[in-house]
Amino acid sequence: MSETKSEIKIEDLGYSEFFESDRSKLGLGGFPVARVIAEYKEAYRVKNENGEYLAKITGKQMFNALSREDYPAVGDWVSITDLGEERAVIHKVLPRRTMIKRKCSGKNEIQIIATNIDVAFVVESIDGDYSLNRFERYFAIANDGGIKPAIILNKIDLISKEDLESKISQIKDRFGDIDLILTSTVTEEGLARLKGYIGKGKTYCFLGSSGVGKSSLINKLIGRKAIKTKDIDLRTDRGRHTTTGREMYFLENGGIVVDNPGMREVGMADATAGIDNVFDEITVLAEKCKYVDCTHTHEPGCEVLAAIKSGRLDEGKYNNYASMKKEAEYYEATELEKRQKDRQFGKFIKTAKDQLKRYGHKDF
Ligand SMILES: Nc1nc2c(ncn2[C@@H]2O[C@H](COP(=O)(O)OP(=O)(O)OP(=O)(O)O)[C@@H](O)[C@H]2O)c(=O)[nH]1
Ligand SMILES: [Mg+2]
Ligand SMILES: [Zn+2]
C-alpha cells in the first residue's frame, strides 16, 4: 500500500449493515465489495475503500442473467476480485435496497436508472415546458422503487418573485407537503439549503428533463466544474442531451449524488403501485366506490367522480391519474395481449390506407 492511501471508509460510500448481512448470507464474506459508480458500454467503474477499478462481470454471471435487472447498475454494491492494476471482476450484485427503473418506450425492456437511492430529486426548471403533471410521473417512478421524492425547482433567476410565488402555491396545492427546494446556479440562491438537505452517507439521484440544470447543480455541490454542462450560447444544440451516462459523485459533506441524462419522456414502467401511492387521495376515495372494480370513469356510485363534481378533488390531478393509469396498464399487459393489440392496430392502419388509396390519397 502506498503512503497516500485515502482515508475513505466503505460506509462513506453508502455501505451499511443492510448489505453486509446479505453479503455474509450469500457466502461472499471472502470477497471485497465495491460500489458501481459509473456504467459504460461493456464495463463498470467501481469504488471501495482501496480505490477505483474498471470492472467487468464474469462470463458465468452474464450467462445466468435472465433480464436487465440481473446486471449491475449505478448504485449497486457488488462483490469483486481485485485483479491488480485497477482492474476487477464483478461476481455478484448484492440485493438492492431500492431501485429506480423505467420502461424503455416501444421495447419491453426495463432500464435501471440507479439503485440503492435514498432520495430522488425531481429537477424541473421554470423555463421550457414546465409541467405539474410531469412531477407526478417522476413521483410514481420513485414511489414504485421505494424512494422518497423531493422537488428541486431550478433557474428561479429567470422569473419574477410573483410568478415564483404562484408556482410555489400551485405545487403546494397539488402535492401538499412535498419537500421543495428552490435554486439558481446563476445567483446561487438555494444552494446552501440544498447542501444542507443532503445527508452524510445517503445517496441522491437527480432526475428530470434535459436542460433543467441537473449537472449544473451537481457541479455547484461538488464545488468545481466536474461535469460538462450545456453551453448557454449553443442554441443550435437545443434538445440534445449534454449528459449521456450515469455517474456517481461524492460530496465533501459526505453526501452521494447520481447524475443522469435527461429523460425525453417519462415512461411508467410497472409503476402501478407507485401511481396509487402518488394519488393516495384518489385511492382513499376509491375505497368508498360502490363497485370494487370501479374504474372511476362512468360508474354510478363512484366516489372519485363525486369528489371532482363537488370540488373536493382537483380535476387536473384526476386527469393525470387516469392517463398514467392507462399507460401503466398498457405496459403491464402481457406480451401476448400486446402483440394482439399491435396486430389489430396494424390491420386498422392497413384498412385505412386501402380506403385512402381508393379515394385517391396516393401519398399516404
Ligand atoms: N438561468 C439559469 N440557467 C441555468 C441554471 N442552471 C443551469 N442553467 C443552464 O441550463 C443549461 C442546461 O444545464 P445542464 O446542467 O447541462 O442541464 P442537465 O439537466 O444536466 O441536462 P442533460 O445533461 O442534457 O440532461 C446550461 O446552459 C446551464 O448553464 C440556473 O439556475 N439559471
Ligand atoms: Mg447533465
Ligand atoms: Zn370509482
Give the pLDDT confidence of 125-160 residue by residue, as tens digits.
Answer: 998 778 888 898 899 889 888 999 999 999 999 999
Separation CA 36–CA 55 (nearest Å): 9
For residues 134 and 162, the answer to whether their CB atoms sit within 8 Å is no
Establish whether residue 143 lines the binding site of ligand 1, counting it when its CB lies within 6 angstroms of any ligand atom: no
Residue to mutate, 229, 263, 265, 266, ligand 1, most ligand atoms under 8 Å from C-beta: 229
- Which numbered atom of ligand 1 lies nearest the CA of 219? 15
Residue with cell 449524488: 257
- pLDDT value of residue 162: 93
Burial (CB count within 10 angstroms: exposed 0-12, middle 13-18, buried 19+), residue 113: buried
Question: What pTM, to 2 d.p., does this model score?
Answer: 0.77
pLDDT, tens digit (0-9, with 9 covering 90-100), for 265-274: 665 555 666 6
Residue to mutate, 181, 185, 191, 241, ligand 1, most ligand atoms under 8 Å from C-beta: 185
For the chain, which ranges sit under pLDDT 70? Answer: 1-6, 61-68, 104-109, 231-241, 264-274, 330-364
Residue 251 alpha carbon to ligand 2 centre in Å: 17
Residue 139 alpha carbon to ligand 3 centre in Å: 23
- Which numbered atom of ligand 1 lies nearest the CA of 232? 27
- pLDDT value of residue 104: 62
Write phi, then psi, for 349 (nearest 5 degrees). Answer: -60, -40
Q: What is the DSSP letter of 94?
A: P
The amino acid occupying position 25 is K
The protein residue whose alpha carbon is closest to atom 8 in ligand 1 is: 213
Between CA 119 and CA 158, with CA 244 as vertex, the angle to 5 degrees is 65
Residue 210 alpha carbon to ligand 2 centre in Å: 7
Between CA 11 and CA 209, with CA 114 as vertex, the angle to 5 degrees is 130
